[in-house]
Structure 1
């Protein structure tokens, strides 16, 4: 099983359509803890990316620009370039995608 790359694209400011939801950063921290509990000792990397200040990598800059230009609901959760969550992400959807990559939930 290869380690999955999970990206949480978001911003400090909560999106207008996402009032009363956790911030992107809070979602990132919650997701990191939930995945680690569900899939202990299985390799994954999770990274938070600020859509208004993305890292220098071209792919990350382009996706961050797309989020802003297309007015997508953030945070947006990507697993290996596939959107698995938007605005208020669902753990069930994220876990289902991880399991298609061979991850096994803890019993």
Structure 2
């Protein structure tokens, strides 16, 4: 499973008091790495510096989403002030589906 976090060096203006995108990425790596025995791949994308053709980058630049934006295997699971419960719920659901 791939956890991809899109963010920027500057904290989202609408997310005052929230951790930075990079802090959120590091925190997710640490917590999820300890919680799950399954292989998780973590990717961080600074959408302001991104040069690739990526619809998520375009959407963030067009202010369609708050950042950090967290994806699980290409599906958005949380944005802005990221909550661990939402992320773990999405991972658990995916693990349950793959176990069937």
Q: Which stretch of structure 1 is more off in the superposition, 10-19 or 47-56?
A: 47-56
Q: Do the aligned partners of 1:85 and 1:94 also contact (CA within 8 Å) in 2?
A: yes
Deviation sequence 1:23-73 (CA, Å, 0-9, x none): 10000000000101111x3101011100111263x3xx2211111103421
Instruction: Give ranges in structure 1 of 5+ residues lacking alignment.
Output: none
Q: Please give the root-mean-square deviation of Cα atoms over the aligned residues, in Å.
A: 1.5
Figure out how many residues of one structure are paired with residues of the other and give that number.
96
Q: How does 1:51-70 map to 2 (within 5 A)?
A: 51-54=47-50, 56=52, 58=53, 61-70=54-63
Q: Hey, what's the Cα distance between the residues in 1 that align with 2:85 and 2:17?
A: 21
Aligned partner of residue 22 in structure 2, secondary structure: helix
> Scaled by the length of structure 2, what TM-score is found?
0.87
Q: Hey, what's the Cα distance between the residues in 2 that align with 1:21 and 1:93?
A: 16
- 2:45 aligns with one of 43, 46, 49: 49
1:7 equivalent to 2:16? Answer no
> Scaled by the length of structure 1, what TM-score is found?
0.82
Q: Do the aligned partners of 1:49 and 1:55 also contact (CA within 8 Å) in 2?
A: no
1:22: how far off?
Answer: 0.8
